[in-house]
Amino acid sequence: MSELNERERQLIEWLADMREDDALPLAKKMLLEDGIDPLHVLGLCRQAMDIVGKRFEEGEYFLPELVLAGEMLELVGAIAKPLIKLGPGGEAKKLGKVLIGTVHGDLHDIGKNIVSFMLDINGFEVKDIGVDVPVKTFIEVINDYQPDVVGLSGFLTLAFDSMKETIAAIDNAGLRNKVHIMIGGGQIDETVRSYTGADAFGVNAVEAVNLCRGWMTAGAAA
């Protein structure tokens, strides 16, 4: 991206600093009054989200900031997206495809949603198939969507068995070698990872991003 002007830097800074009341009117003005290319404005938002992600990783930001950042991005996106004139190759290339869902029997989704958001702002294409997802749905969607990574989420202890069953079914369907599987949720630890047969587990959204990045980098190098 070319050198930024003062106003563009301001937008990035205000978004990254959670100054919603300043950032949103500025983004709106740039899009609706000044006719700035919506893809350029979204690019600035993405730069702000990179800063948010970094601050989260460094322990300066926590869940409230991720949630508010996601909300601000959505609000700017809602104004920007109808203005985008589709051209060839407009969308940036994604780092990889991640399928994510909460395993059957479990209805919790807060953690899963945060992981989806963090993967999205870090350049992954994410397909979130919701909560209480039956084993067969995971198999069907893996076949259709062909993700690089499958993320299984669960908060309750019953999720240990649901994850184990889901991973066994992925294996039985002959898909185990085609995807990396990560698990996460309140009670997940190495004992559960080993019990379920997942490739890795993470205790927060940053770890999920790092796992996916690691697998994509290793895949690209191979």
Which residues contribute to the site for other proteins (CB under 8 A)?
18, 20, 60-64, 67-68, 71, 105-110, 113, 156-158, 160-161, 186-189, 191-192, 195, 203-204
Q: What angle do CA 178, 143, 158 make, to 5 degrees?
A: 80
55 vs 97, which CB is nearer to other proteins?
Answer: 55
> Rounded to an integer, what distance in angstroms lies between the CA atom of residue 42 and that of residue 65?
19
60 vs 140, which CB is nearer to other proteins?
Answer: 60
* Minimum CB–partner distance for residue 67 and other proteins (Å): 4
* Minimum CB–partner distance for residue 38 and other proteins (Å): 25
**Two tokens, residue 157:** 């202890």
45 vs 188, which CB is nearer to other proteins?
Answer: 188
**CA atoms within a 13 Å half-sphere pointing along the CA-CB vector of 46:** 15
> Rounded to an integer, what distance in angstroms lies between the CA atom of residue 94 and that of residue 72?
22
71 vs 171, which CB is nearer to other proteins?
Answer: 71
* Minimum CB–partner distance for residue 142 and other proteins (Å): 24
* Minimum CB–partner distance for residue 198 and other proteins (Å): 13
26, 10 in Cβ contact below 8 A?
yes
206, 52 in Cβ contact below 8 A?
no
